[in-house]
Amino acid sequence: MAVPDTLESRPSRPGQARRAELAGFLRARRERVTPQEVGLPPGPRRRTPGLRREELALLAGVGVTWYTWLEQGRPINASVQVLDAVARTLQLDQAEREHLYRLAEATPVRTATGPGPASLPSPVIDILDAVSPNPAVLVNGRFDILHSNVPHQAVFRDWHSMPCIHRNLLWCGITEPSARDKFLNYDDEVPYLVARMRSHYAAHVGDPEWEEDIRRLSELSPEFAGLWARHDVCEAELRLRIFLDPEGGELRFTINELSVSAVPGTYFIVYTPQDALTRDHLAQICATRDPG
């Protein structure tokens, strides 16, 4: 079975890993832009989808050799102005532009992976408790669960059919055999979670914890490996998530991500009921279910 390019043996140095990630991202985005979208004739049958390197370089006003080296992951310098031209030609949105700049080291890079649960400031934990009865959880860019409030624990108490050992929202979704039965819009939300993780990854390329986490999850889940190879990135946005609770029925939440300035690299995910039925079911779950 062919292994996606992002899962090949990874370079050992952070700089090499970052350039490899940049190369994969550029290739994936170039292959999504059709000649018609940028005003070029379709031309003869193409061996690969999207624009050719030569076409992209011409449209962006950069040298073909320079762009080829950039996409090959060679150690070359790229100014913000040149990256802007490439981004415009690739029709990148804001999240994708920022991802490109971070990978090209055109913006400051943060490499710290964030705190463990024991080092969280108590006021941060107090905020989680204060948003009750809404479920809420504190996570880092990999979706490791650093802390969750009682409603969140109660709602997801019986999520796993097997013991949970990873304490990670993405792992809990993508490795649980019954996830699709319980997470009713799984096929919309799991790709979004992977794209959000990929956006955060640009600041952690070469970080051993991140690389090992990605490697393990890729080996365990072909679904994740395929989503990761797409190089999708996105900004945080309000999302609908629908869960089926065995006792409370259908639960419909609006999901909101809130950055935590006191703990860089982390953010709250708050689940706000979308309707009265969900609010009633949530109140019943919190009143009757031991979250432990």
Considering the domain architecture, whether residues 72 and 125 belong to the same structural domain is answered as no
The per-residue pLDDT for range 170-210, each reduced to its tens digit, is 999 998 889 999 999 999 999 999 999 999 999 999 888 89
Could you give phi then psi for residue 204, rounded to 5 degrees? -135, 15
Report, as ranges of residue numbers, the positions in the chain whose pLDDT lies below 70: 1-12, 14, 42-46, 107-118, 162-165, 291-292
Amino acid 144 reads D
Q: Is residue 204 part of a domain?
A: yes
| 129 lies in the same domain as 254 | yes
| CB-based contacts of 21, cutoff 8 Å, min separation 6 | 6, 103, 201, 202, 205
Domain that holds residue 66: 5-103
Query: What's the total number of domains in the chain?
Result: 2
**In this predicted structure, what is the pLDDT of residue 3?**
42
Indicate whether 223 and 257 sit together in one domain: yes
Q: Are residues 226 and 134 in the same domain?
A: yes
Q: Report the run of H or E that residue 200 belongs to, with start and end.
A: helix 186-201
- pLDDT of res. 111: 39
CATH number at residue 272: 3.30.450.180
Dist. CA 101–CA 113, nearest whole Å: 20
Domain assignment present for residue 111? The answer is no
Residue 197 in domain: yes
Structure confidence at residue 117 (pLDDT)? 52
User: Crossing angle, helix 94-103 and helix 14-30, to 10 degrees?
Assistant: 150
Hey, what are 275's tokens? 């309707």
* Separation of first and last alpha carbons in the chain: 42
pLDDT tens-digit series, residues 78-115: 777 788 889 999 999 989 988 998 898 875 444 344 55
Residue 94 CB coordination number (10 Å): 10
Amino acid 170: pLDDT: 94
Which CATH number belongs to the domain containing residue 98 in this structure? 1.10.260.40
- 264 to each of 5, 111, 166, 207, 244, how far by Cα in Å? 31, 11, 22, 16, 33
Residue 162: the pLDDT is: 64
What's the confidence (pLDDT) of residue 118?
55
